[in-house]
């Protein structure tokens, strides 16, 4: 059987199974009945499904290809930039997710509306969208590239097939389909990639021989330097703390205990697994010392014959599809609930909202594909969006949930979100302009590169903490009585 035929059969079965899951849960769980059913699986998801979906969403094409490339370039120290997401995720499962659940929200920006109003909600939504849209735009392109490589299809056909399947199962089965498909894919991704490591070591001539060929810097855990290590750690921690797509998994869990356990155990497994792409990169460095880092994963896949190569390309496909499906569902919840229902049509019924949410999926993928294909530099801009979100939204959300005083500081929270984001953008622009200027001058200069989040976060925290103390210090008991509202009883 040829490689193309094997790939066609494997992928057809895989796509059919995912679409089948979508239709099955559409009927069984009545996802069209309400927005909660559609976006949050009716808040009834069991532990295994939440944890599996958690892992699959964290593992995208960028994880397998990008982190393998990082492992190829810098070795084991690259793990600082990957595993730290899990540190924050496990911690968020203990302290952040239970409080978000208690607030009874569906989207992260909704919590800002609960305390402050529409202005805060819009700012939070923009910051949240910046990251998710970037992920969707870039992963959709990689998915189409995989299809082009496997079957030689054109760009449009590849996008229609890969994104079309994601849209069909997400539109029909909502969060249930996304989480169940994620869990199936998580098992295949985790097992498949973990098998690649011992097989690769065997190809390298055994463990001792493999280790003896690793460049010294590649086993040095501090090889990238303290500034980059701290920068990566903070980016990972704060990106996760504001990562709505992941936080919504906790909201979808059937109860608080399930959410806590899913985040903790799912996070712990992911933390251990996250070394795999870096090991893949180190193995590629030993076996293919003269390739470009971006090809590390592909080169390792090619080691295992025709069927092995197809299998590992399918693993890559699964990692991308699971991430895209979760992200587009998160974005559609923002557009339909934070924008349409809040500002355009507050009287919209639940059924109308679900129809809109389904339509939004098509729109989001179409726009992201057009932007990604026609304006690749915009995708670069979106990637900065992850750092901007981590600088502006994440610290304010975390403090808001854990420090009651901050809930009485509308100006400080707003200024911290905007200030932290702007400081991050300014730092990025300044460093880019310095690099461009140095290149134009032809000067040999040592550029001092500071992760922009190291500028954005202190600004956000400073404004938030100092501002909150000043703002609430002027509030009298009479004033608080005038603003007092009765808290709605929220079932767990």
Partner 1 sequence: MVKFKYYRDDPIDDVPAPAWKMILSFAGITAIFVGYIFFWGALLSP
Which residues of the shown chain bind partner 1 in the complex (CB under 8 A)?
75-77, 79-80, 83-84, 86-87, 90-91, 94-95, 98-100, 102-104, 114-117, 119, 211-212, 214, 216, 218-221, 256, 268, 271-272, 275, 279, 282, 401-402, 404, 407-411, 414, 480, 483-490
Residue 297 and residue 281: Cα distance in Å, rounded?
Answer: 7
Question: Toward partner 1, which CB reaches closer, 76 or 453?
Answer: 76
Residue pair 484/420 in contact by the 8 Å Cβ criterion: no
Token couple for 120:
């805060």
Least separation in angstroms between CB 343 and partner 1: 18
User: Which stretch of DSSP H or E encloses residue 434?
Assistant: helix 410-441
Residue pair 316/64 in contact by the 8 Å Cβ criterion: yes
Residue pair 246/240 in contact by the 8 Å Cβ criterion: yes
Cα-Cα-Cα-Cα dihedral of 52, 55, 58, 63, to 10°? -120
Question: Toward partner 1, which CB reaches closer, 337 or 409?
Answer: 409
Helix (H, G, I), strand (E, B) or coil at 222: coil
Question: Toward partner 1, which CB reaches closer, 268 or 381?
Answer: 268
Least separation in angstroms between CB 386 and partner 1: 20
Question: Toward partner 1, which CB reaches closer, 442 or 477?
Answer: 477
End-to-end CA separation in angstroms for the chain: 54
Q: What's the angle, vertex CA 409, arms to CA 403 and CA 414, rounded to 5?
A: 105
Least separation in angstroms between CB 408 and partner 1: 6
Helix (H, G, I), strand (E, B) or coil at 300: helix
Question: Toward partner 1, which CB reaches closer, 261 or 373?
Answer: 261
Phi, psi of 45 (to 5 degrees): -75, 135
Question: Toward partner 1, which CB reaches closer, 27 or 209?
Answer: 209
Least separation in angstroms between CB 477 and partner 1: 11
Q: Taking the CA atoms of the chain, what radius of gyration do you get in angstroms? A: 23
Least separation in angstroms between CB 20 and partner 1: 38
Question: Toward partner 1, which CB reaches closer, 186 or 276?
Answer: 276
User: Which stretch of DSSP H or E encloses residue 82?
Assistant: helix 80-103
Question: Toward partner 1, which CB reaches closer, 201 or 460?
Answer: 201
Residue 138's alpha-carbon distances to 135, 144, 346, 476, in angstroms, are 5, 10, 33, 50
Least separation in angstroms between CB 455 and partner 1: 23
Question: Toward partner 1, which CB reaches closer, 191 or 208?
Answer: 208
Question: Toward partner 1, which CB reaches closer, 346 or 404?
Answer: 404
Q: What is the sign of the dihedral through the CA atoms of 406, 412, 418 and 422?
A: negative
Helix (H, G, I), strand (E, B) or coil at 261: helix
Residue 461 and residue 144: Cα distance in Å, rounded?
Answer: 40
Annotate 16-71 with DSSP letters as a single string.
HHHHHHHHHHHHHTTGGG-HHHHHHGGG-B-HHHHHHHHHHHH--HIIIIIHHHHH
Least separation in angstroms between CB 488 and partner 1: 8
Least separation in angstroms between CB 382 and partner 1: 27
Least separation in angstroms between CB 105 and partner 1: 10
Residue 222 and residue 322: Cα distance in Å, rounded?
Answer: 32
Least separation in angstroms between CB 485 and partner 1: 5
């Amino acid at each position: 059987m040829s490689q193309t035929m094997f790939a066609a059969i494997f992928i057809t079965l895989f796509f059919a199974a995912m679409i089948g899951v979508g239709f099955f849960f559409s009927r069984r769980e009545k996802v069209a009945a309400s927005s909660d059913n559609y976006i949050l699986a009716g808040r009834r998801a069991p532990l295994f499904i939440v944890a599996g979906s958690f892992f699959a969403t964290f593992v995208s094409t960028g994880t397998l290809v990008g982190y393998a490339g990082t492992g190829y370039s810098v070795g084991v120290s690259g793990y600082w930039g990957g595993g730290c997401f899990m540190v924050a995720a496990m911690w968020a499962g203990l302290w952040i997710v239970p409080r978000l659940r208690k607030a009874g929200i569906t989207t992260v920006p909704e919590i800002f509306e609960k305390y402050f109003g529409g202005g805060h909600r819009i700012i939070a939504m923009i910051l949240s969208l910046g990251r998710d849209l970037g992920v969707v735009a870039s992963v959709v392109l990689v998915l189409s590239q995989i299809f082009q490589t496997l079957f030689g299809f054109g760009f449009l056909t590849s996008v229609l097939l890969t994104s079309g399947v994601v849209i069909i199962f997400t539109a029909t089965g909502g969060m249930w389909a996304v989480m169940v498909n994620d869990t199936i894919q998580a098992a295949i991704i985790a097992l498949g990639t973990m098998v690649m490591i011992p097989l690769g070591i065997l190809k390298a001539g055994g463990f001792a021989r493999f280790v003896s060929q690793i460049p010294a810097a590649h086993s040095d855990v501090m090889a990238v330097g303290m500034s980059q290590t701290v920068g990566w750690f903070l980016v990972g921690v704060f990106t996760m703390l504001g990562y709505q797509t992941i936080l919504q998994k906790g909201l979808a869990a059937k109860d608080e205990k399930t959410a806590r356990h899913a985040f903790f155990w799912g996070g712990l497994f992911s933390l251990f697994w996250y070394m795999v792409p870096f090991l893949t990169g180190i193995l590629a460095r030993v076996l293919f010392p003269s390739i470009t880092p971006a090809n590390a994963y592909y080169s390792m896949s090619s080691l295992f014959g025709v069927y092995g190569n197809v299998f590992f390309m399918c693993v890559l496909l699964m990692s991308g599809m699971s991430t895209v499906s979760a992200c587009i569902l998160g974005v559609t919840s923002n557009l339909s609930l934070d924008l349409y229902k809040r500002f355009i049509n507050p009287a919209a019924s639940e059924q109308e909202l679900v129809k809109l949410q389904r339509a939004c999926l098509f729109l989001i993928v179409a726009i992201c594909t057009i932007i990604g294909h026609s304006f690749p530099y915009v995708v670069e801009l979106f990637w900065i969006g992850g750092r901007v979100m981590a600088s502006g939204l994440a610290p304010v959300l975390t403090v808001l949930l854990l420090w009651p005083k901050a809930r009485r500081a509308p100006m400080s929270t707003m200024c911290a979100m905007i200030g932290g984001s702007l400081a991050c953008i300014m730092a990025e622009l300044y460093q880019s302009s310095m690099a461009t200027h140095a290149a134009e001058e032809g000067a040999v200069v040592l550029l001092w590169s500071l992760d922009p989040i190291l500028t954005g976060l202190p600004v956000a925290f400073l404004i938030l903490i100092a501002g909150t103390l000043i703002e609430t210090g002027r509030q009298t008991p009479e004033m608080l009585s005038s603003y007092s509202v009765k808290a709605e009883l929220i079932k767990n």
